[in-house]
Structure 1
Amino acid sequence: MNYQELAQDILKLVGGDANIKSAWHCATRLRFLLKDEKKAQTDKIEALDGVITVVQAGGQYQIVIGNNVAQVYDALVEQDSRLGENDATKSEEQAPKGKLTFKSAFDAFIAFISGSFTPFLGAMAGAGILKGLLSLFVALHWMTPTTGAYQIWFAAADGIFYFLPIILAFTAAKQLKVNQYVTVSIAMALVYPTMVALTTKNTAINFFGIPVVPTTYTSTVIPILLVVFVQKYLEPLFNKFWHESVRNILTPLCVLMILVPLTFIVVGPISSAISGGLAGIFMALYKNARIFSGLIMGAFWEVFVIFGVHWAFVPLAMNNLSKFGFDTLMPLLLPAVLSQAGAALGVFLRTKDEKMKGLAGSNTITAIFGITEPTIYGITLKMKKPFYCAMAAGGIGGAIVAASGVHANAVGLVSVLSIPTFISNGIWLSIIGDIVSFVLGTILTVFWGGVNSQKEAAVETSAAETSNVSEVETTEVDYNSATQIASPLTGEVVPLKDIKDEVFSSGAMGQGVAIEPTVGEVVAPADATVQMVFPTGHAIGLVTDDGAEILIHIGMDTVQLDGKGFETLVKKDDHVTSGQLLVKFDIETIKQANLEVTTPIIITNTKNYHEVDVVANGNVQQKDKLLELK
């Protein structure tokens, strides 16, 4: 996949720079707030190679990419750096405003919650899993809470939850475009040790005679979100009042002096009442309709994900954790995730389409570890019946998990790795429910998923259309043939896994090899067309005449040189022959800038090949045989 080209196409088809208010990404999707979604050419975007589907929900225009979303987003930011700031193209006053409706208000709320939690969801999920593992270690008597190792790891696991208002202040303030550092200062005041101690001791204080109700703010969500909302209206008033020469100092001063006491006196008690009410309602529903709750959440959670409204449940789960010390919602969601993985496995076992088999096999694994969007949009929802099978399996598994009464002691990405966070009474019945959802999703899809029905229908139609043809020419594929890629550099071969850039070493961009060059010249590794040339000259993309997509990235972080030491000899769309000189670069210039000169040669469309074999080692010369693609 050529990320630069895909990003360029997406930027154009969503209506261009002028139509984008803000953009960010989650684990699998590019998320846009567009000024006018009607300007986006959805059909053309969905047809792009590398795009799974488009979802318009929660006030967001969501382009589902899959595991490569970060690379596509980075390419998008390279073309429009403003997007990396997650800011509006124009001020909000210039953005079009429509009549406020319940739908628009709800969409805005979902967008706000999504944008606030997405940036640190990975860190929170990792910390939650660590917290669960510590509970598991204690339960198995491998550790005790008094050991130094436990206490250090627990600090690593619990820190993000304890100081959640601080990190949430930063991301929420960014969403509402207020001074992030002022909001963080307010959040720090809420969890300041002296104030926490007063709450712990239930000590009453007052602010100029106004009583302050002791309230706990550590690990909370709702108070700081309300604070940001109030700051949104308070901060502009002071910005207008103070002259620009003193505004940067006096506006934060006034906001802190007013909003911190206001939070302790008014916002805190209000948010506490809201939190208590939400927690009470949820627990009442859970206690009185537990099985039904599990059935609904297990069956329809992925539907909520499709429409983007699942973010509304995140504050609820966090609130449960803050109020009760545990959450009963998260365990109900794992059957929904695992049922999709099971349905993907069912497709893998049943399909006769080799391409679909490969896609379903890989997505079974990613779904088990909590990334379900590629599975849903690329497989189950696309084929319809497997999605329904997964819903049925998830509902049954969710009902079993609900019956177990298990709860979570941390909140994060729901996956099989979440199970240690569910350690409590009923854990074994809960695991049985999870297994049932996975196995049942597989079985239902194998027997009733209609996996090959579309393909068989297509074959029958094709047979009917060609029934009058006396002879049909067929092309025999030689699976023993291989595409040869020569070395574009002279130097020492370095295994891809050993280079320092994780994007390349992890294989996220594709398989290949790296070379530590001794000569500052890059030549064409095969007859090819130049697909992409960076203006800085540090990277070049080629498509060989055999269809292999090759990225040659000279050095690590060499984009920082802004073209210094690089000379590009070809341009986009040029056709080059094997051995033709493409780029000259000065090795010493790169080294003097304290940058790595190690150069990855990546096959970016690796998924089109069964194997990418490195056939050279040690020192190689330009034009020596380097890779074989089979």
Structure 2
Amino acid sequence: MGKFEQDAREMLEAIGGKENVAAVTHCATRMRFVLNDDSKADIKRLEAIPSVKGTFTNAGQFQAIIGNDVPIFYNDFSEVSGIEGVSKEAAKSAAQKNQNWLQRSLAMLAEIFTPILPAIIVGGLILGFRNILEGIQWSALDGKTIVEVSTFWNGINSFLWLPGEAIFQYLPVGITWSVSRKMGTSQILGIVLGICLISPNQLLNAYDVAGTSAAEIAAKWTWDFDYFTVAKIGYQAQVLPALLAGLSLAYLERFWRKHIPEVVSMIFVPFLSLIPALILAHTVLGPIGWTLGKGISAIVLAGLQGPVKWLFGGLFGALYAPLVITGLHHMTNAIDTQLVADTGGTALWPMIALSNIAQGSAVFSYYWMNRHNEREAQISLPAAISAYLGVTEPALFGVNLKYVYPFIAGMIGSAIAGMLSVTFNVTANAIGIGGLPGILSIQAKYMLIFAVLMLIAILVPFILTIFFRKAGFFTKAEDATVKAPQAEAVSEAKKTTEVETGTLISIHSPLQGEAKELSQAPDSVFAQGVMGQGLVIEPFEGELVAPVDATVSVLFPTKHAIGFVTDQGLEMLIHIGMDTVNLDGKGFTAHVKQGDRVKTGDKLISFDIQAIKDAGYPVATPVIVTNQNDFQTDAVGILPHAVKRGDDILSASKL
């Protein structure tokens, strides 16, 4: 048996079976599915699988977070399902049928910018370092900058401008290359087109256009075609002109490849694609892209610098994490880059970094509350670290969105930090590393205030997450921390008397039905003994009675589960059906309340078996001892067998 064979079987059933899978592949940490019908995926069942750390849907793909063992899981899934995987590109292509035009456009924008982000990030760090060298007047240096007093660092500063200039002024080359790469067309033509947009010898540098008179442009920087003229304007650091030009080249090449015979395509396709695209770029698309870019930049700047800029910062800070969920956050890369080109810096990126930190702090707070729960800790701690380093996907989809209240706490912390960031005009040199390392991209004069804002983004979500949990705000019943009240009740109900090792406790059947091995439970969390040891009963009647003399330590508000603690310290949980929390108490009537003392056979809960089945949920009911480290639990008799209420079903001996 493969390491994940059982989990893979459970996953196949939970996503609707083999017939519901249109395509499957995997990446570094996730299984990626294109499902024929997303509604058939049972999210709660999936997230109960031990190896699954979270699920989400993005870009038309249903994704399950596995972690570093995903290649092994993928192989086991292929074995048990008989489904052959496809390439990531094939999966993306299949997923497009589940996306609308806006989602497809945003997905394309993301895939164009992703390959060039490493260069932009490096460029931001270089600008930040150069800013420290030449932009700060140090009191220890008599009010001079480092480059003014050190020949060595002046040389370093000058040398670093070599890659800095290459990254930002030559950005259109990277964009047109990435467009051609994404569209599957000739990448070298994309590079050539990009160079033609920023040629330093033949075009007026974009940064110099504002300071050059119209007369000089007409005299020196114009192509004269007798009947008309075209300005020789470069598009250094411009995003939209390069993007539009690159797309025109790609679509032209695709068109000509369909209509020109292959035998002469090498001659005509490049020529008929590049030259028209170049003409369009300098006559139509470039000016339009320039105008649109300036317009977007102006609108964002109005928000960042206007009379209610604090409100803009608060809204952006609060809404950035939801934008990540929808995929709309990809558009901020283009806006950031345009702001850098127009103003020499961006005030959006600091807020993005603060949002990463805030969501990371929320999930870290969740980890802190569940640090003794091995499964929850394995999911939440790595997710917190990842978010602090700028990758929020595991935190958002693995914990915060799943349980809601950490997500809300993160949004509030991010909103406060974003509001203050804009109020104090915090600016980054360019897009940088997200999360805590984001401070390296901040302009030197704002680094101190940004450090304070990072502290706010850490503390506020951490404290709010704990507060929301204890107050019950925005919480969901399946949250692991919901078990905290049970733990408190157990602590109160336990007696101080010590129980001798070997003390035997008989547990009686709380139901009439068929008793089976716990491994037969429909939910893998129960079946694998994660919650404790015991058995599962398929009930024939909807009357649950007390299996022991005990105190009711917890009664869930939905009345689908009840816990006990005996005078000997034995802790038990009975969970009526699977996923019945979703019924929100419908079909359940409780006859006791938390804290009540009950005797064996006392009526506890009445439930409607048929209503549970009609709602699509199993009625199989686990009866388990949860403190298995203190008591050894054994079944009475050979399973499966029929039981009546009051029959001996389990024996628990003190360890």
What TM-score comes out, normalization by structure 1 length? Answer: 0.63
Q: What's the CA shift for 1:446? A: 3.0
Q: 2:129 aligns with which of 108, 127, 133?
A: 133
The aligned residue for residue 298 of structure 1 is 317
Whether the 8 Å CA contact 1:343–1:387 is kept in 2: the answer is: yes
Whether the 8 Å CA contact 2:362–2:410 is kept in 1: the answer is: yes
3-state SS of 1:172 partner: helix
Determine the C-alpha separation between the residues in 2 that align with 1:351 and 1:474. 19
3-state SS of 1:406 partner: coil
Q: 1:118 aligns with which of 110, 114, 122?
A: 114
| 1:287-314 CA-partner distances (Å, limit 9, x unpaired) | 2231011111212211111222211222
Query: Letter of the aligned partner of 2:343 in structure 1?
Result: F
The aligned residue for residue 253 of structure 1 is 271
Determine whether 1:340 maps to 2:347: no
The aligned residue for residue 187 of structure 1 is 194
Determine the C-alpha separation between the residues in 2 that align with 1:7 and 1:224. 45
Whether the 8 Å CA contact 1:165–1:221 is kept in 2: the answer is: yes
The aligned residue for residue 448 of structure 1 is 468
Q: What's the CA shift for 1:28? A: 6.5
Whether the 8 Å CA contact 1:55–1:63 is kept in 2: the answer is: yes
> Structure 1's 352 and 205: CA in aligned 2 closer, same or farther, altered over 3 A?
closer
> Structure 1's 153 and 337: CA in aligned 2 closer, same or farther, altered over 3 A?
same
Q: What's the CA shift for 1:273? A: 0.8
The aligned residue for residue 155 of structure 1 is 162
> Structure 1's 392 and 317: CA in aligned 2 closer, same or farther, altered over 3 A?
same
The aligned residue for residue 61 of structure 2 is 61
Query: Letter of the aligned partner of 2:128 in structure 1?
Result: G
Gapped regions of structure 2 (runs ≥ 5): 139-144, 471-478, 490-551, 556-561, 573-655
The aligned residue for residue 281 of structure 1 is 299
Q: What's the CA shift for 1:428? A: 3.2
3-state SS of 1:326 partner: coil
Determine the C-alpha separation between the residues in 1 that align with 2:305 and 2:73. 43
| 1:477-517 CA-partner distances (Å, limit 9, x unpaired) | xxxxxxxxxxxxxxxxxxxxxxxxxxxxxxxxxxxxxxxxx
Query: Letter of the aligned partner of 1:112 in structure 2?
Result: M
Q: 2:406 aligns with which of 386, 394, 404?
A: 386
3-state SS of 1:206 partner: strand
Q: Summarize the alignment of residues 343-362 of structure 1 with structure 2, pairs less than 5 Å apart.
A: 343-351=362-370, 353-355=372-374, 356-357=376-377, 359-362=379-382
Determine the C-alpha separation between the residues in 1 that align with 2:92 and 2:368. 48
The size of the alignment, in residue pairs, is: 464
Q: 1:222 aligns with which of 219, 240, 243?
A: 240
Determine the C-alpha separation between the residues in 2 that align with 1:177 and 1:4. 37
Q: What's the CA shift for 1:132? A: 1.9
Whether the 8 Å CA contact 2:180–2:246 is kept in 1: the answer is: yes
Q: 2:174 aligns with which of 162, 167, 172?
A: 167
The aligned residue for residue 316 of structure 1 is 335
Q: 2:222 aligns with which of 197, 205, 213?
A: 205
| 1:526-555 CA-partner distances (Å, limit 9, x unpaired) | xxxxxxxxxxxxxxxxxxxxxxxxxxxxxx
Whether the 8 Å CA contact 2:177–2:187 is kept in 1: the answer is: yes
Determine the C-alpha separation between the residues in 1 that align with 2:268 and 2:325. 45
3-state SS of 1:334 partner: helix
Whether the 8 Å CA contact 2:564–2:571 is kept in 1: the answer is: no
3-state SS of 1:63 partner: strand
The aligned residue for residue 106 of structure 1 is 102
Whether the 8 Å CA contact 1:66–1:373 is kept in 2: the answer is: no
CA RMSD, 1 decimal: 4.3
Q: What's the CA shift for 1:195? A: 3.2
| 1:420-468 CA-partner distances (Å, limit 9, x unpaired) | 3221554433332222121112222233334875113555677675649
Whether the 8 Å CA contact 2:336–2:430 is kept in 1: the answer is: no
Determine the C-alpha separation between the residues in 2 that align with 1:166 and 1:50. 43
Query: Letter of the aligned partner of 1:165 in structure 2?
Result: P
Whether the 8 Å CA contact 2:127–2:164 is kept in 1: the answer is: yes
Whether the 8 Å CA contact 2:204–2:221 is kept in 1: the answer is: no
Determine the C-alpha separation between the residues in 2 that align with 1:152 and 1:80. 51
Determine the C-alpha separation between the residues in 1 that align with 2:241 and 2:35. 30
Determine the C-alpha separation between the residues in 1 that align with 2:223 and 2:350. 42
The aligned residue for residue 183 of structure 2 is 176
| 1:394-425 CA-partner distances (Å, limit 9, x unpaired) | 11111111100121111134222121322155
Q: What's the CA shift for 1:111? A: 0.7
Q: Summarize the alignment of residues 319-468 of structure 1 with structure 2, pairs less than 5 Å apart.
A: 319-351=338-370, 353-355=372-374, 356-357=376-377, 359-423=379-443, 425-450=445-470, 453-457=481-485, 465=562, 467=564
What TM-score comes out, normalization by structure 2 length? Answer: 0.61
Determine the C-alpha separation between the residues in 2 that align with 1:14 and 1:180. 41
Whether the 8 Å CA contact 1:129–1:418 is kept in 2: the answer is: no
Whether the 8 Å CA contact 2:53–2:379 is kept in 1: the answer is: no
Gapped regions of structure 1 (runs ≥ 5): 476-630
